[in-house]
């Protein structure tokens, strides 16, 4: 039997480029990648897999990657800090990527040269910038990087602040309050702040049963909101606000306040100022005293994107969706959280997928061929507890020259069985492994 | 001659999904099902070498709920039959073991 693939292959001229594997086509060039996170690493791997003759150099500040996805699981002891570490050895040894530990500090976009802190110069045919996010600590009165590193950690970029936050939670007095200051849109990992609240609430049930988790939020909703609130209601005694119960399955009505509380914007949740000495946060509805304060500050594109003129007034980087080439600086592409490519979210999954689209596009550009139509998904798992998961289901394609959400259910239905929630938690754990493998290994 | 006309008709009737387009559509699957369809993971099945007809049948069963799933139903509903067929052909073409 002749497969459709072979059938078309024979039907069209044998030399039709569109039917040859990518690797068989001529495409040479030199790519420099700034940032070895999910976007940069996936990009480098997929370029080298498909066109090993292309020279790829990653400039990355840290010798080992510390993954942000899943890093809230350090806070409740599901995993250790060392479990977040991902090596660049496979990129170097298996795929032949030149991974340089250095910091990009200068760009000459006309001459196409990047300079680094060590004084090295890297010339490129295409530059890919994938720097993640910059946390704007100073946007909240009373908050600063220094306070985040010593007193009221953020931990939204994982590292020493994550470890500090974990220790603060562990050492908190019995009956203490853990306060999360949630960020305004847009931000990295849309379900993340509320998932973090759930995981700490679960930890408290066991180790600090009279403790409290409060999330104070400048927003009225977040991605996976209904699933998360249902999980909080079932697991942590949370009462869903009366105006948010429509369309939800039977809810428990708890007579006493639960472990977790979420204060929306309409209820005065917007944070106004932080006082790290008094350990309190001023919000529109009043002051909240806490024993541990975790601030997820407003954010924008990673610093190097701003420094290189890749951001617009929004603080994020506008790009051509077919290639992820910056619309502001030619031959420079931007990937991951730094990009404004709505409706693609600021998630690791999206960064991984954008990287693949950009890799194929750049191979085609080097070969002087037309860029193929892109396609994206975003399937993120989130937890309300270690055995209670749910997910976001996103599929995106080009419609009328723009990235569009394709019609499909965006979430599971809310009435799924406990088994389904357990299964989603199993998949969440499995995804941490398979996703890291696809991006780095 | 008849064959040629039939062939032309097929080629003109639906926009052809190129192999590269199929690969680009299939690439997101790798986040769970492994790069080039290869994964060693108790939760996710590898897709390398799966028969296209099995892939398409499975995806269609996810759509209707005939086959139970967590998120696969949502994904299956977003793609056309032709797109599923193209992705199935791509996965079938991938070697099951070793490097791509």
The ipTM assigned to this model is 0.91
Per-residue confidence (pLDDT) for residue B11, from 0 to 100: 54
**Cβ separation of A427 and B25 shorter than 8 Å?**
no
Which residues of chain A make contact with B74, given a CB cutoff of 8 A?
393, 395, 408-412
Average pLDDT of span B50-74: 96
d(CA A85, CA A123): 30
Q: What is the domain-level CATH number for residue B66?
A: 1.10.760.10
For chain B, give the longest Cα–Cα distance: 52
The residues pairing with A340 across neighbouring beta strands, listed in sequence order, are A318
Tokens 């569009």 — which residue?
A404
First CA to last CA distance, chain B: 39
pLDDT digits 0-9 by tens, B11-36: 555 678 999 999 999 999 999 999 99
Range of the domain at B84: 17-93
Share of chain A above pLDDT 90, in %: 92
* pLDDT score for A265: 98
A411, exposed or middle or buried, with CB in 10 Å at 0-12, 13-18, 19+? Answer: middle
Domain A4-134+300-375 and domain A137-295 have a common topology: yes
* Overall domain count for chain B: 1
Chain B residues touching A406 at Cβ < 8 A = 78
Asked if the structure places residue B8 within a domain, the reply is no
Rg (CA), chain B: 15
- A264 or B4: which leads in pLDDT: A264
For residues A295 and A193, what is the distance between their CA atoms, to the nearest angstrom?
9
Residue in B19, B31, B36 closest to A19 by CB = B19
Output A319 or A24, whichever has higher pLDDT: A319
B-chain CB neighbours of A52 within 8 Å are none
- Decide if B11 is inside a domain: no
Of B36, B44, B70, the CB nearest to A424: B70
Half-sphere exposure of A116 (CA within 13 A, CB side): 18
Distance CA A347, CA A194 (A): 15
Please indicate whether, in this complex, the C-beta atoms of B74 and A410 are within 8 angstroms of each other. yes
**Tens-digit pLDDT profile for residues A144-174:** 999 999 999 999 999 999 999 999 999 999 9
Residue B100 included in any domain: no
Residues β-bridged to residue A32: A57, A127
Residue B26 lies in a domain: yes
Average pLDDT, chain A: 94
Most B CBs within 10 Å, among A438, A439, A440, A441, to test the B interface: A438
Position B41 scores a pLDDT of 87
Which CATH class for the A137-295 domain? alpha beta
| B72, part of any domain | yes
**Is B63 contained in some domain?**
yes
- Give residue B9's pLDDT: 53
pLDDT of residue A44: 98
pLDDT bucket at A26, cuts 50 / 70 / 90: confident
Please check the confidence at residue A376 and state whether its pLDDT lies above 80.
yes
Residues of A in contact with B44 (CB under 8 A): 427, 430, 434
B77 within some domain: yes
| Overall size of chain B counted in residues | 100
Element (H, E) at A100: strand A98-101
Cβ distance B34 to A408 less than 8 Å, yes or no, reads: no
% of chain A with per-residue pLDDT over 70:
94
Please report residues of A whose CB lies closer than 8 A to that of B18: 18-19, 372
Q: A33 pairs with which residues across the strands?
A: A58, A128
For residue B68, what pLDDT band results from cuts at 50, 70 and 90?
Answer: very high
- Alpha-carbon gap: A374 to the closest alpha carbon of chain B (Å): 7
pLDDT over threshold 50, residue B2: yes
Q: What is the pLDDT of residue A17?
A: 43
Touching check for A10 and chain B: CB below 8 Å?
no
Question: Which comes out higher in pLDDT, residue B25 or B40?
Answer: B25
User: Given its phi and psi angles, is residue A178 left (phi above 0), alpha (psi -120 to 50 degrees) or beta?
Assistant: beta
Q: Taking the C-alpha atoms of A224, A205, A208 and A269 in order, what is their torsion angle to the nearest 10 degrees?
A: 30
User: Residue B37 domain-assigned?
Assistant: yes
Domain boundaries, chain A: 4-134+300-375, 137-295
Query: For the residues A50-75, what does the mean pLDDT come to?
Result: 98
> Stretch A136-142: mean pLDDT, rounded?
98
For the stretch A404-422, pLDDT in tens is 999 888 888 999 999 999 9
Name the residue of chain A whose CA is nearest to B46's CA. A434
Residues of B in contact with A22 (CB under 8 A): 20, 23
pTM of the model: 0.92
Q: What is the mean pLDDT of residues B54-62?
A: 98
Q: In a mutagenesis test of the A interface, which of B28, B30, B87 is the best target, namely the one with the most A β-carbons within 10 Å?
A: B28
Mean pLDDT across chain B, nearest whole number? Answer: 89
DSSP state, residue B43: S
pLDDT score for A11 = 37
Whether the per-residue pLDDT at A8 is higher than 50: the answer is no
Under CATH, domain A4-134+300-375 is a member of which superfamily? FAD/NAD(P)-binding domain (3.50.50.60)
Interface test with B, best of A395, A413, A415, A417 (most B CBs within 10 A): A395
Does pLDDT of A23 surpass 70? no
Q: What mean pLDDT is predicted for residues A313-334? A: 98
């Amino acid at each position: 039997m002749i497969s459709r693939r072979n059938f078309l292959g024979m039907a069209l001229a044998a030399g039709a480029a569109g039917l040859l594997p990518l690797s068989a086509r001529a495409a040479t060039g030199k790519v420099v990648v700034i940032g070895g996170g999910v976007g940069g690493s996936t990009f480098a791997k997929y370029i080298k897999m498909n066109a090993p003759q292309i020279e790829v150099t990653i400039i990355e500040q840290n010798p080992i990657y510390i993954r942000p996805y899943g890093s809230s699981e350090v806070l409740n002891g599901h995993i250790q800090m060392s479990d977040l570490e991902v090596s660049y050895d496979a990129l170097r040894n298996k795929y032949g990527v030149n991974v340089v530990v250095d910091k990009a500090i200068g760009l000459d976009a006309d001459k196409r040269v990047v300079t680094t802190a060590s004084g090295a110069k890297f010339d490129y045919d295409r530059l890919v910038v994938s720097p993640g996010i910059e946390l704007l600590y100073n946007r909240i009165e009373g908050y600063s990087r220094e306070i985040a590193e010593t007193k009221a950690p953020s931990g939204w970029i994982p590292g020493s602040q994550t470890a500090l936050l974990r220790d603060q939670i562990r050492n908190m007095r019995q009956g203490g309050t853990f306060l999360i200051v949630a960020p305004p849109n847009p931000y990295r990992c849309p379900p993340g702040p509320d998932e973090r609240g759930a995981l700490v609430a679960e930890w408290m049930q066991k180790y600090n049963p009279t403790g409290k988790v409060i999330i104070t939020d400048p927003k009225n909703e977040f991605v996976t909101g209904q699933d998360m609130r249902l999980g909080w209601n079932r697991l942590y005694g949370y009462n869903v606000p009366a105006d948010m119960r429509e369309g939800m399955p039977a809810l428990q009505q708890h007579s006493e306040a639960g472990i977790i509380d979420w204060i929306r914007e309409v209820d005065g949740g917007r944070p106004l100022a932080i006082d790290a000495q008094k350990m309190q946060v001023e919000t529109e509805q009043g002051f909240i005293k806490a024993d541990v304060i975790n601030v997820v500050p407003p954010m924008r594109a990673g610093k190097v994107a701003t420094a290189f003129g890749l951001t617009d007034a929004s603080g994020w980087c506008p790009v051509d969706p077919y290639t992820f080439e910056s619309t502001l600086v030619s031959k420079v592409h931007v990937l991951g959280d730094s990009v404004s490519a709505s409706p693609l979210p600021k998630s690791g999954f999206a960064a991984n997928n954008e990287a693949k689209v950009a890799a194929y596009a750049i191979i085609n550009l080097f070969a002087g061929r037309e860029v193929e139509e892109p396609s994206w998904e975003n399937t993120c798992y989130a937890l309300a507890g270690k055995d209670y998961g749910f997910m976001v289901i996103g599929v995106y394609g080009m419609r009328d020259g723009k990235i569009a959400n394709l019609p499909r259910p965006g979430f599971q239905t809310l009435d799924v069985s406990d088994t389904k929630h357990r299964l989603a938690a199993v998949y969440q754990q499995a995804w941490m492994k398979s996703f890291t493998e696809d991006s780095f290994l | 001659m008849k064959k040629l006309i039939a062939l032309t008709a097929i080629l003109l009737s639906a926009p052809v999904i190129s192999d590269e387009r199929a690969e680009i559509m299939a690439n997101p699957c790798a986040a769970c099902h492994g790069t080039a369809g290869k994964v060693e993971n108790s939760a996710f099945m590898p897709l390398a070498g799966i028969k296209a007809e099995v892939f398409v049948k499975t995806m269609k069963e996810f759509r209707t709920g005939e086959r139970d799933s967590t998120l696969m139903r949502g994904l299956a509903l977003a793609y056309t039959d032709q797109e599923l067929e193209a992705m199935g052909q791509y996965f079938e073409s991938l070697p099951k073991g070793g490097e791509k």
